[in-house]
């Protein structure tokens, strides 16, 4: 029993385990750092997806506006005010020989 008594004292085995505790602390710091970095990347990805959806909505709105301005009903008053007429026939391609 007297031989076991020193081993039960925490001051006996704690200093002997310092290397193990430092090893565990090192890997714990690495784990926390990688989790933190991954969380930052996920937040950036979420922010970029939100920005992309906003830009896509803006693109669709502008595309609809441009398509509406290119329509015949929108061009006809502008052409009439300038005294121009829309052609009734398709354009003809003229071959050019060099």
39-87 pLDDT, tens digit per residue, is 999 999 999 999 999 999 999 999 999 988 888 888 888 888 888 887 7
25 located within any domain: yes
Mean pLDDT, the chain, whole residue set: 88
Percent of the chain with pLDDT over 70: 95
- Cα dihedral 62, 68, 69, 70 in deg (nearest 10): 110
* pTM for this predicted structure: 0.54
- Res 14 pLDDT > 80: no
- Res 34 pLDDT > 80: yes
Burial 49-73 (b: 16+ CB within 10 A, else e): eeeeeeeeeeeeeeeeeeeeeeeee
How far apart CA 53 and CA 50 sit, in angstroms, is 5
Per-residue confidence (pLDDT) for residue 1, from 0 to 100: 61
**DSSP secondary structure string, 11-33?**
HHHTGGGHHHHHHHHHHHHHHHH
79 located within any domain: no
94 located within any domain: no
Domain housing 50:
5-63
The total domain count for the chain is: 1
The tokens 């008053």 sit on which residue? Answer: 77
92 located within any domain: no
And the tokens for 61?
């709105």
Task: Count CA within 13 A, CB hemisphere, residue 49.
Answer: 6
How far apart CA 87 and CA 42 sit, in angstroms, is 56
């Amino acid at each position: 029993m007297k031989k076991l008594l020193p081993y039960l004292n925490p001051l006996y085995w704690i200093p002997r385990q310092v290397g193990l505790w430092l090893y565990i602390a090192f890997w714990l710091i690495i784990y926390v750092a990688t989790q933190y970095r991954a969380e930052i990347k996920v937040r950036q990805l979420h922010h970029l997806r939100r920005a992309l959806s906003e830009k896509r909505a803006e693109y669709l709105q502008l595309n609809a506006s441009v398509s509406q301005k290119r329509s015949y009903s929108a061009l006809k008053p502008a052409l009439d005010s300038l005294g121009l007429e829309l052609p009734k026939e398709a354009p003809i391609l003229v071959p050019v020989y060099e």
